Amino acid sequence: MLFKVEMKVTIPHDMPADVIADIKAREKAYAQALQARGKWRHLWRIAGSYANVSIFDVADNAELQELISGLPLFPYMDIGVAPLCRHPSSIHEDDR
């Protein structure tokens, strides 16, 4: 199942720089591991903001929840999720 996920990050102003750097490093490793597994199909920066739009390919809602809630930045994110299905005019046979 494909989901569009939008994540907007707001880090508290009083968080120490070394803590932020550690969270961001763990977030990057986590995100890249999910991409390598094919779970996180697309990851795009929304220009001009600390936000991204992503496409996740997961078995079900429960797996999406598990993966997203495991993000090191999860406590500092506003997240919006939309389920996707194949568009009848799409030429991409693997969009499902």
Q: Where along the sequence are the contacts to ligand MUC (CB under 6 A)?
A: 7, 9, 27-28, 31, 52, 73
Query: Residue 42's closest CA among 5, 9, 86?
Result: 5
Write down the least CB distance from residue 59 to ligand MUC, Å: 21
Write down the least CB distance from residue 27 to ligand MUC, Å: 4
Write down the least CB distance from residue 53 to ligand MUC, Å: 9
Cβ closest to ligand MUC, residue 69 vs residue 90: 69
Using the structure block, give the residue that is written with the tokens 């001009």: 48
- Alpha-helical (H) ranges within the chain are 17-36, 61-69
Point out the residue whose Cβ comes nearest to ligand MUC.
52
Judge whether 1 and 60 are in contact, CB under 8 Å: yes
